[in-house]
């Protein structure tokens, strides 16, 4: 059984969402530091074990979180498993009104934020930015950009205009800590943050994850493939 380090919790996973990093890890080895490896980075579930220095979470509590394997490289930090080690400051308490399955994906004031892609991650970025009073434009495909900033979940596009500042955002960066700790739970409770887009449940059990990956690889737009456990 997994153990907790400083600032960590162990979560018993209830639902696993399939996203592009999981596909890239399997297909080309991006983010993989050692083999064999465990992939996946989006899950919801219940707290199974709490580190001694963690105060915000209790055993049995419902949580939503992005796993840390993209930066840690540790298999125990990955989502495609029954249990996952999660940094407590990169997780949020899930309100009782939101089913665990629905929560497996979400995610000067005159400035404009352009998000590349409108799926679950794009939806999360759009909602957080809108809550901060920022005008959001979501695009996909090869389009000319004429705005202030470009936020990408992968490497920024080459050839961005001179007036565009492009950068990569990870849900496990330290800059995201206040979002997880102070924003996600009250925003979900108030309805300011929605679990979008709707999930498509592939099946139940970790042995179905490969089928879900194959469906996502074939092409998914404004939808999220989810495996229940």
11 and 47 Cβ atoms separated by less than 8 Å: yes
pLDDT score recorded for residue 47: 96
229 and 16 Cβ atoms separated by less than 8 Å: yes
pLDDT score recorded for residue 108: 43
Shortest CA distance to 193 belongs to which of 59, 97, 70, 86?
97
pLDDT score recorded for residue 21: 76
Kindly list the strands in the beta sheet with 165-168, ordered across the sheet, starting from the edge strand earlier in the chain: 135-139, 112-116, 149-152, 165-168
Shortest CA distance to 56 belongs to which of 10, 91, 13?
91
Structure tokens at 4: 């907790």
The 3-state secondary structure of 13-77 reads: EEEEECCHHHHHHHHHCCCCCCCCCCCCCEEEEEEEEECCCCCCCCCCCEEEEECCHHHHCCHHH
Mean pLDDT of 61-87: 88
Predicted confidence band of residue 214 (pLDDT cuts 50, 70, 90): confident
Q: Give the residue, 74 or 61, on which the prediction is more confident.
A: 61
- pTM reported for the whole predicted model: 0.72
pLDDT digits 0-9 by tens, 114-159: 665 555 666 666 666 766 666 666 655 544 444 455 555 455 556 6
Structure tokens at 65: 């979180």
The percentage of the chain sitting over the pLDDT mark of 90, rounded to a whole number, equals: 18
Q: Is the preceding omega at residue 197 within 30 degrees of 0, hence cis? A: yes
Q: Give the residue, 70 or 119, on which the prediction is more confident.
A: 70
Distance CA 84, CA 23 (A): 19
- Domains (range + CATH), the chain: 8-104+198-228 (3.90.180.10), 112-168 (no CATH)
- Which residues, 6+ apart, have CB-to-CB distance to 142 below 8 Å? none
pLDDT digits 0-9 by tens, 9-62: 999 999 988 877 778 788 888 778 888 888 888 889 999 999 988 999 999 999
Mean pLDDT of 97-109: 68
What are the helix and strand counts (H, E) for the chain? 6, 11
């Amino acid at each position: 059984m997994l153990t907790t380090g400083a600032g960590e919790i162990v979560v018993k996973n209830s639902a696993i969402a399939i996203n592009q990093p999981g596909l890239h890890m399997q297909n080309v080895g991006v983010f993989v530091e050692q083999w064999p490896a465990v992939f996946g980075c989006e899950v919801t579930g219940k707290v199974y074990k709490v580190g001694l220095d963690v105060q915000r979470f209790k055993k049995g509590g419902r949580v939503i979180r992005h796993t840390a394997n993209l930066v840690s490289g540790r298999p125990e930090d990955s989502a495609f498993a029954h249990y996952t080690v999660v940094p407590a400051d990169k997780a949020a308490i899930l309100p009782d009104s939101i089913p665990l399955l629905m929560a497996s994906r979400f995610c000067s004031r005159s400035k404009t934020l352009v998000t590349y892609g409108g799926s679950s991650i794009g939806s999360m970025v759009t909602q957080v930015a809108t809550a901060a009073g920022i005008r959001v434009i979501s695009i996909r495909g090869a389009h000319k950009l004429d705005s202030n900033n470009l936020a990408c979940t992968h490497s920024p596009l080459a050839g961005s205009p001179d007036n565009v500042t492009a950068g990569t955002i990870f849900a496990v960066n330290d800059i995201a800590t206040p979002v997880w700790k102070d924003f996600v739970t009250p925003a979900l409770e108030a309805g300011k943050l929605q679990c979008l887009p709707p999930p498509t449940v592939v099946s139940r059990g970790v042995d179905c994850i490969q089928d879900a990956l194959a469906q996502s690889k074939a092409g998914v737009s404004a939808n999220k493939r989810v495996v229940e456990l």
